Copies of this chain bind each other. A is one copy, B any other.
Amino acid sequence: MSLQRLFHQKLSPFSRKVRLALAEKRVEVALVEEKFWERRIDFLRLNPAGQVPVLEIDGLVLCDSTAICEYLDETRPDPALLPQGASARAEARRLAAYFDDKFHGEVTVNLLHERVTKRLMKSGYPDSGNIKMGLSAIRYHLDYIDWLADHRRWLAGDTMTIADLSAAAQISCLDYVGDVDWKRVPNAKDWYARIKSRPSFRSLLADSLPGFQVPQHYSDLDF
């Protein structure tokens, strides 16, 4: 069997999205931590974009979390991460992109990057203005998740999709640093408790980063 490994970072939401997709589909891969900010030349050969995750599978090198998830869904259809029907698929993809782009840009970058990644990369101190923006943005994004979870069983509809994985991947990183105020959003909390209890989530909940204290509720399934 050819090499199956994922170059990742523990608190990279895009790495986590792919780890969830792999685990849902019961594909086992070796995890390789890649300090992508060091721009290792052999890593840049694998991914000119210089980002994690990069998946080696089926003798291929795959980059970009969305492209990887679409590939996994095409080659390992069970369980499906995209629903049946073009319009339902468009809704799942819209929401996945919403969390990958908008939530990431307005919340994750402002909170996680300032608080964790900068320290890992030794690239300076947290910017309090950015943190303030992130704390303000996460409120309305959690309200949106709360609204979706109140109207649908899963975020994009009746079944769990790539939208749930994208959202849970971002949220789980922020929960690790204690930035999610679960009290305000009971429907979002119920949705997160459901996805967090899946076997695919276990490996994420076992992650720990030296020098960063994990909040007690992070890995607690009855938080």
Contacts and interface: CB of A to CB of B under 8 A. Distances in A.
Given A48-B144, A49-B102, A144-B48, A74 B94 contact: no
**How many protomers of this protein does the assembly include?**
2
A178 to B, nearest CB: 26
B74 A93 contact: no
A189 B19 CA distance: 39
A71 interface: yes
Interface string A78-100: 00000000110110011001100
B48 A70 contact: no
A74 B62 contact: no
A93 B67 contact: yes
B144 A94 contact: no
Size class of the contact patch on chain A: 20 to 34
A66 interface: yes
A90 B102 contact: no
Contacts of A48: 98, 144
Nearest to A103: B49
Contact of A90 (B62, B98, B101): B62
Given A60-B87, A102-B49, A144-B48, A94 B75 contact: no
Interface string A43-58: 0000011010000001
The 7 closest A-B pairs by CB, nearest first: A67-B93, A64-B97, A71-B90, A74-B86, A67-B94, A64-B94, A63-B94
9 contacts: A48-B144, A49-B102, A51-B102, A60-B87, A64-B93, A64-B98, A66-B97, A71-B87, A74-B89
